Amino acid sequence: MSDNGRYLEYLAERIEGVYSEPDSKTGERVVATIQGRPMVLDVERTPLFDVRTRYRTLFVATDQFQFRLSPPDFDTPTTLRRVLGRASDVKIGVPYFDEKYLIEATDTEKVRLFLDEPVLREQIRDLGKFCLEIRSEKDYPREIAELRLTIAGKTEEIARLHYLFDLMGKFMERLVHQGSASPELPTIEL
């Protein structure tokens, strides 16, 4: 078992999740049920050997809304503009937030609605170096999308781990509330 595997196995025990060894389709990961929804936690190494912790869940999308939000110094290999060719840079009208983050979205009004709650913006601000995105993968059926939160480094504190899983739950609630996600669970798994 790798160091990441031992780390993930430890986290699974602490959060009542299930640790899975790598197989032909997935790497080592923890699956936990948060607010009735399966969420996956895994650790990845970037080509530059940076370690990142990913929190992911699938949902039934009711529209084609996608976005990407991160500080400008958080490097990821793709942007929505490159993937979709139709995303635009978005300013939400909150100066400190607009100055601190890059936001790309396929629907400006929906991303503004998603980020409309001041408490949620403060929670996002406290994430540090991160990337929050809604994406569709070519391997998924058209109506399935993925909500992904990628945090720089390993999440070692159990309280922070619970906090980040709960925050993912809040993000999902916002998507359902604004009509971009169905409350029903998808029929496929990550």
Which helix H or strand E contains 80, and what residues bound it?
A: helix 80-84
pLDDT (0 to 100) of residue 80 = 43
Range in 30-34, 58-62, 109-113 with the lowest mean pLDDT: 30-34
- The letter for the amino acid at 50 is D
Structure tokens at 159: 């309280």
Residue 106 neighbours by CB under 8 Å, 6+ apart: 64, 65, 66, 67, 80, 84, 86, 87
Position 8 confidence tier, pLDDT thresholds 50, 70, 90: confident
User: Percent of the chain at pLDDT above 70?
Assistant: 87
Instruction: Compute the Cα dihedral for 151, 165, 19, 59 and give only its sign.
Output: negative
> Which residue, 96, 97, 123, 128, is CA-closest to 111?
97
Q: How many CB atoms lie within 10 A of CB 156?
A: 11
Q: Give CA–CA dist 180/111, Å, rounded.
A: 10
Reported as a single tens digit per residue, the pLDDT across 22-58 is: 776 667 888 988 888 999 998 887 776 678 889 999 9
State the residue for tokens 């790497």: 27
